[in-house]
């Protein structure tokens, strides 16, 4: 393979709802560029993308696939990403290194919820789009309704570049209103003939051409003046205008295709090469300081690793984009995160599982290397004399949470190692042991996401795991002032144990006045502050601890032990064993023994006094609340809202956006287990949602009663 200069490279990502035909179109592109001699099929399980056993079984993309094709003496890097939102991590990775999104629409379904979801990600990441109406050879293909749905749903104005002459099972021709030609296809291998536009299509083609010219002229004053003067624009002028419109995300050119029959592939690739931005003029990547890192091949080398993979016979594979400079085989770079040196021993151009060894790559190119020592996804490798760190990718918050354990006892350590390997490949998987819940908690983008992980562990590592409902990280606090005293006394021969502690506790909040006196059950307790300590708890909230001992009732050396006892009980709250927070404790009296008093005695006395006071201080349980935003087709809004209300949700707002509704609600985490599955069932997979931690709120009285009973029953069982 020749070394392609930066201007000769195009980096695109194929996006679209599930079953929009991305993998089949990618196969046709590779075939047209002679990267493969024959096109594979999904049914034949022999495509460049979807090349894993699990993808063969599901007949759909689960992992992003990097491939390339060579066409018109240019290199087109293509990333085929999954359509399912459960695997959106691959889309975020691809958009980081691709300059343009090619969005496919299924001609039988039009603009779907999946289209809206992926379009929203393109909006977030600021990527321009080119549209392709695919599967126009399907017997139920409907060009007009598909275009109408795109106009209604798209955030970027669609402009027709091609339209089909005969959509449906006999589809074999379209009219290109940029070239003002008709293309008819003789076979299913892309063989085409270029014809004049038939007389019966002249008026329609002319109208589409006028709209295309106006769309092109709109983004450049000089072109607009030229259009007003001449009433039309040349093909090169149209391309120049569209290049600006695409770059500004103001237009989305629409093309016709049947990836399965290789119809329209060449013209789409020609347009991408002629009009889509090459890396030097595309939106540049930014470093962690917010500065542009321009794709200049003469500058010091910078690589960004956007995907990591483990293969049994090769080890770690790192997929990268050359952000800047020239990468040569044998080059030594520095990992900007770790400071470690990494030698690039081999460089490969990637076509699915096929890898072609090359000696160098220029800025803007995409490839992979193997056996780096400590580099992972989101890392930057750069020349030692020009340290740069590319701004890392930010993945969506997890939406599905489960507890996980190995089915066989004694395999927990092995499970931890395997889960970390999975996380290495997929950063949207989060795994952590919760000391609070005493569970391994795994989080992902949906139930299907985690079930695929479960299947991989079973198939590849013979590790059987099970998911179950995770415990909820409740918090405990109080609502009023309470007093308690506790005497710890123990005598069992020899030295005994003795410690007595008197405390007052009250709710803590920001701006609370300093304590001077308390009136509890008709008794007034004066407070003379001798010392104050304030602690930010690891789990949120605060503890204020006051020493108000007078007359030496308790020696100052025992106060740390009292505090330790209170801290221990806050770590395992008196109500349900959850963390306690936002409490002020005043130690104002007590007793000690000249011989039997020691630290353990006062630790136990402080712990038990706190426990007793807590239960008398109007204790309440707080639960984590999440802000949930659901994107749902309008006709399913009622079902989704009803389900959320059954989950104790508080609806915060609703808005309508081109056939879809956005519903925002505050929902207790306890009610969100397996929500992604329910939502998919309610909407036939057409809805999606995001969730983000909002804060803690008091649980309703009936829920608190259930939690207390469950905890007491558990205590009895133990």
Closest to 5 measured CA to CA, from 346, 386, 293, 296 = 296
Three-state secondary structure string covering 83-118: CCHHHHHHHHHHHHHCCEEEEEEECCCECCHHHHHH
| 162 and 58 part of one domain | yes
C-alpha–C-alpha distance, residues 198 and 379, integer Å: 55
Query: What are 293's two structure tokens?
Result: 């890192």
Please state the rounded mean pLDDT for residues 339-353. Answer: 95
| 187 and 278 part of one domain | yes
Q: What local confidence, expressed as pLDDT, does residue 331 receive?
A: 96
| 145 and 208 part of one domain | yes
Per-residue pLDDT for 495 more than 80?
Answer: no
* Per-residue pLDDT tens over the stretch 681-693: 998 877 888 899 9
C-alpha–C-alpha distance, residues 270 and 255, integer Å: 12
C-alpha–C-alpha distance, residues 445 and 400, integer Å: 6
Per-residue pLDDT for 525 more than 50?
Answer: yes
C-alpha–C-alpha distance, residues 400 and 431, integer Å: 12
* Per-residue pLDDT tens over the stretch 172-224: 999 999 999 999 999 999 999 999 999 999 999 999 999 999 999 998 889 99
Q: Residue 676 in contact with residue 399, Cβ under 8 Å?
A: yes
Q: How far apart are the first and last CA of the chain?
A: 68
Q: What local confidence, expressed as pLDDT, does residue 512 receive?
A: 93
| 263 and 350 part of one domain | no
Q: Is 394 within the bounds of a domain? A: no
C-alpha–C-alpha distance, residues 548 and 142, integer Å: 81
For residue 418, give the CATH number of its domain.
3.30.70.870
Residue partners of 323: CB distance under 8 A and separation at least 6: 285, 293, 295, 302, 303, 304, 363, 380, 390
Q: What local confidence, expressed as pLDDT, does residue 231 receive?
A: 86
- Look at the block and give the residue holding tokens 């397996």: 674
Please state the rounded mean pLDDT for residues 575-580. Answer: 93
Residue partners of 522: CB distance under 8 A and separation at least 6: none
Phi-psi group of 290: left, alpha or beta (phi > 0 → left; psi -120 to 50 → alpha; rest → beta): left
Q: Where residue 445 falls among pLDDT bands split at 50, 70, 90?
A: very high
Please state the rounded mean pLDDT for residues 437-452. Answer: 94
Per-residue pLDDT for 358 more than 90?
Answer: yes
Overall size of the chain counted in residues = 718
- CB contact burial 467-501 (16+ within 10 A = b; e otherwise): beebbbbbbbbbeebbbbbbebeeeeeeeebbbbb
For residue 372, give the CATH number of its domain.
2.40.30.10
Q: How far is CA 154 from CA 15, 105, 162, 254, 547, in A?
A: 14, 11, 18, 12, 64
Share above pLDDT 90 across residues of the chain, in percent, rounded to a whole number: 83
C-alpha triplet 395, 327, 28: angle, nearest 5°: 65
Q: Where residue 717 falls among pLDDT bands split at 50, 70, 90?
A: low
C-alpha–C-alpha distance, residues 557 and 211, integer Å: 85
Please state the rounded mean pLDDT for residues 397-406. Answer: 94
C-alpha–C-alpha distance, residues 667 and 658, integer Å: 26
Q: Is 544 within the bounds of a domain? A: yes
Helix extents (H) in 305-446: 412-425
Q: Is 388 within the bounds of a domain? A: no
Q: What local confidence, expressed as pLDDT, does residue 712 receive?
A: 83
* Per-residue pLDDT tens over the stretch 701-714: 999 999 999 888 77
Q: Is 710 within the bounds of a domain? A: no
| 76 and 202 part of one domain | yes
Per-residue pLDDT for 13 more than 50?
Answer: yes
**Strand duo 439-444 + 465-468: pairing:** unpaired
| 363 and 409 part of one domain | no
Residues 194, 197, 198, 200: what is their CA dihedral angle, to the nearest 10 degrees?
150
Residue partners of 151: CB distance under 8 A and separation at least 6: 158
Q: Can you state the angle between helices 235-247 and 221-230, rounded to 10 degrees? A: 150
Instruction: Enter the pTM of the model.
Output: 0.87
Query: What are 671's two structure tokens?
Result: 């009610």
| 304 and 208 part of one domain | no
Please state the rounded mean pLDDT for residues 70-99. Answer: 95
The DSSP 8-state label assigned to residue 287 in this structure reads B
Residue partners of 377: CB distance under 8 A and separation at least 6: 93, 305, 306, 307, 308, 393, 424, 427
Q: How far is CA 262 from CA 160, 191, 268, 426, in A?
A: 20, 9, 11, 32
- Look at the block and give the residue holding tokens 């060579």: 70
Closest to 162 measured CA to CA, from 90, 256, 238 = 256
Full residue range of the structural domain in which residue 694 is found: 621-703
Please state the rounded mean pLDDT for residues 577-583. Answer: 95
**Strand duo 542-547 + 497-507: pairing:** unpaired
Count of beta carbons in the 10 Å neighbourhood of residue 274: 16
Per-residue pLDDT for 623 more than 50?
Answer: yes
The DSSP 8-state label assigned to residue 262 in this structure reads T
Per-residue pLDDT for 627 more than 90?
Answer: yes
C-alpha–C-alpha distance, residues 7 and 24, integer Å: 27
C-alpha–C-alpha distance, residues 368 and 364, integer Å: 13
| 223 and 309 part of one domain | no
C-alpha–C-alpha distance, residues 210 and 207, integer Å: 5
For residue 531, give the CATH number of its domain.
3.30.230.10
Residues 339, 340, 344, 347: what is their CA dihedral angle, to the nearest 10 degrees?
-60
| 544 and 596 part of one domain | yes
C-alpha–C-alpha distance, residues 427 and 398, integer Å: 11
The DSSP 8-state label assigned to residue 186 in this structure reads S
Domain count, the chain: 5
Give the end of a domain, one of 249, 282, 315.
Answer: 282
CA gyration radius for the chain? 32
Average pLDDT, the chain: 93
Q: Is 212 within the bounds of a domain? A: yes
User: In 3-state terms, what secondary structure has residue 539?
Assistant: coil
**Strand duo 74-80 + 9-16: pairing:** parallel
Backbone φ and ψ of 358, nearest 5°: -130, 165
Residue partners of 327: CB distance under 8 A and separation at least 6: 301, 303, 344, 347, 360, 361, 362, 365, 367
Give the end of a domain, one of 448, 471, 494.
Answer: 471
Per-residue pLDDT for 658 more than 70?
Answer: no
Q: How far is CA 413 from CA 109, 418, 430, 450, 456, in A?
A: 47, 9, 17, 19, 18
Q: Residue 356 in contact with residue 349, Cβ under 8 Å?
A: yes
| 486 and 454 part of one domain | no
Per-residue pLDDT for 718 more than 50?
Answer: no
Q: Is 297 within the bounds of a domain? A: yes
Give the end of a domain, one of 436, 452, 471.
Answer: 471
Per-residue pLDDT for 442 more than 50?
Answer: yes
Backbone φ and ψ of 324, nearest 5°: -150, 155
Per-residue pLDDT for 276 more than 70?
Answer: yes
Per-residue pLDDT for 716 more than 60?
Answer: no
| 121 and 248 part of one domain | yes
Query: What are 657's two structure tokens?
Result: 């956006």
Q: What local confidence, expressed as pLDDT, does residue 491 receive?
A: 80
* Per-residue pLDDT tens over the stretch 459-473: 999 999 999 999 999
Q: What local confidence, expressed as pLDDT, does residue 685 receive?
A: 79
Q: Is 590 within the bounds of a domain? A: yes
Query: What are 346's two structure tokens?
Result: 């081999």
| 144 and 230 part of one domain | yes
Please state the rounded mean pLDDT for residues 670-677. Answer: 93
C-alpha–C-alpha distance, residues 715 and 718, integer Å: 5
Q: Is 452 within the bounds of a domain? A: yes
Please state the rounded mean pLDDT for residues 442-457. Answer: 94
């Amino acid at each position: 393979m020749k070394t392609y200069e930066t201007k000769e490279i195009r980096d695109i990502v194929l996006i679209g709802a599930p079953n929009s035909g991305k993998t089949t179109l990618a196969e046709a592109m590779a075939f047209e560029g002679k990267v493969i001699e024959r096109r594979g099929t999904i049914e034949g399980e022999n495509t460049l993308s979807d090349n894993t056993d699990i993808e063969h079984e599901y007949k759909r993309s689960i992992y992003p696939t990097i491939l390339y094709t060579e066409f018109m003496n240019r290199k087109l890097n293509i990333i085929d990403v999954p359509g399912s939102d459960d695997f959106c991590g691959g889309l975020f990775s691809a958009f980081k290194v691709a300059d343009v999104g090619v969005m496919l629409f299924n001609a039988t379904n039009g603009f779907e919820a999946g289209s809206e979801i992926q379009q929203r990600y393109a909006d977030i990441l600021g990527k321009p789009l080119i549209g392709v109406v695919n599967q126009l050879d399907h017997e139920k293909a409907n060009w007009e309704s598909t275009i109408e749905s795109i106009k209604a749903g798209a955030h970027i104005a669609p402009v027709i570049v091609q339209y089909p002459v005969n959509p449906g099972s006999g589809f074999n021709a379209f009219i290109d209103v940029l070239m003002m030609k008709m293309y008819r296809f003789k076979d299913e291998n892309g063989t085409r003939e270029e014809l004049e536009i038939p007389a019966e299509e002249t008026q329609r083609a002319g109208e589409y051409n006028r709209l295309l010219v106006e769309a092109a002229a709109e983004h450049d004053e000089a072109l607009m003046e030229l259009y007003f003067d001449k009433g039309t624009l040349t093909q090169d002028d149209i391309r120049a205008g569209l290049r600006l419109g695409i770059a500004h995300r103001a237009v989305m050119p629409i093309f016709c295709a049947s990836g399965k029959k290789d119809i329209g592939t060449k013209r789409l690739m020609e347009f991408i090469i002629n009009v889509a931005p090459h890396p030097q003029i595309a939106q540049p990547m930014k470093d962690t300081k917010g500065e542009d890192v321009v794709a200049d091949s003469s500058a010091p080398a910078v690589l960004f690793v956007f995907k990591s993979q483990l293969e049994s016979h090769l080890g770690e594979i790192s997929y990268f984009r050359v952000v800047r400079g020239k990468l040569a085989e044998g080059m030594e770079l520095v990992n900007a995160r770790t400071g470690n040196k990494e030698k690039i021993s081999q460089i490969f151009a990637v076509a699915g599982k096929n890898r072609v060894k090359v000696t160098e790559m220029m800025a803007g190119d995409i490839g992979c290397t193997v056996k780096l020592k400590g580099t992972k996804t989101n890392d930057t490798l750069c020349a030692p004399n020009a340290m740069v760190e590319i701004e890392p990718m930010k993945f969506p918050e997890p939406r599905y949470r489960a507890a996980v354990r190995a089915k066989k006892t004694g395999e927990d350590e092995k499970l931890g190692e395997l889960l970390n390997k999975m996380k290495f490949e997929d950063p949207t998987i989060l795994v952590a042991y919760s000391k609070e819940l005493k569970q391994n908690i795994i989080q992902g983008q949906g139930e299907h996401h985690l079930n695929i992980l479960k299947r991989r562990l079973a198939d590849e590592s013979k590790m059987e795991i099970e998911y179950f409902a995770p415990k909820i990280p409740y918090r405990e606090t109080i609502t009023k002032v309470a007093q308690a005293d506790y005497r710890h006394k123990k005598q069992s021969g020899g030295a005994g144990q003795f410690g007595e502690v008197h405390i007052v506790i009250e709710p803590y909040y920001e701006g609370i006045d300093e304590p001077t006196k308390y009136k509890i059950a008709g008794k007034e307790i004066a407070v003379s502050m001798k010392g104050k300590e304030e602690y930010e708890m690891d789990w949120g909230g605060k503890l204020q601890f006051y020493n108000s001992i007078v007359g030496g009732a308790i020696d100052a050396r025992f106060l740390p032990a009292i505090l330790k006892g209170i801290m221990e009980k806050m770590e395992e709250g008196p109500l349900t064993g959850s963390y306690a927070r936002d409490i002020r404790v005043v130690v104002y009296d007590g007793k000690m023994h000249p011989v039997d008093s020691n630290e353990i005695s006062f630790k136990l006395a402080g712990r038990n006094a706190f426990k007793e006071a807590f239960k008398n201080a109007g204790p309440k349980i707080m639960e984590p609340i999440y802000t949930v935003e659901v994107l749902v087709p309008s006709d399913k809004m009622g079902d989704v809202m009803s389900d959320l209300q059954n989950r104790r949700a508080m609806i915060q707002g609703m808005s309508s956006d081109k056939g879809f509704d956005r519903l925002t609600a505050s929902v207790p985490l306890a009610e969100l287990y397996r929500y992604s599955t329910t939502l998919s069932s309610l909407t036939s997979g057409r809805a999606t949602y995001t969730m983000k931690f909002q804060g803690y709120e008091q649980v309703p009285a009936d829920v608190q009663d259930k939690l207390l009973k469950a905890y007491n029953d558990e205590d009895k069982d133990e």
